[in-house]
Structure 1
Amino acid sequence: MSKKSTLIVALWCVFALGLTQEETRDTKQHPELPKLVRMWAQKLGGELWHFGELVTRRTMVIESFKRTTVVKEDGEALLKEIHEKVSTMMEEKVKAVQRIMETAEQVAKEQKEEDIDFNFQFVNAKNLTNSAPNATMSDQEVHEEAPQELRFDDSFVSTDSRYEERYQAMVQPEEDMEGYQQDQEQPEEDSKGFDEADGEIE
Structure 2
Amino acid sequence: MTSMPTSRKKPRPLPRSFYRRDPLIVAPALLNKLLVCHDGRAGRIVEVEAYRGADDPAAHSYRGKTPRNAVMFGPPGHMYVYFTYGMHWCSNVVCEGTVEGSAVLIRALQPVAGLDLMHAARPLAKNDRQLCNGPACLTQAMSISKLQDGIDLVGGDAYALVDDGVPPPVQPVQTTRIGLTKATDFPWRWYLADCAYVSRK
Shorter-chain TM-score: which interval?
under 0.3
Larger fraction in helix: 1
Give the TM-score normalised by the residue count of structure 2: 0.10
Q: Which has the larger radius of gyration?
A: 1
Higher relative contact order (CA 8 A, sep 6+): 2
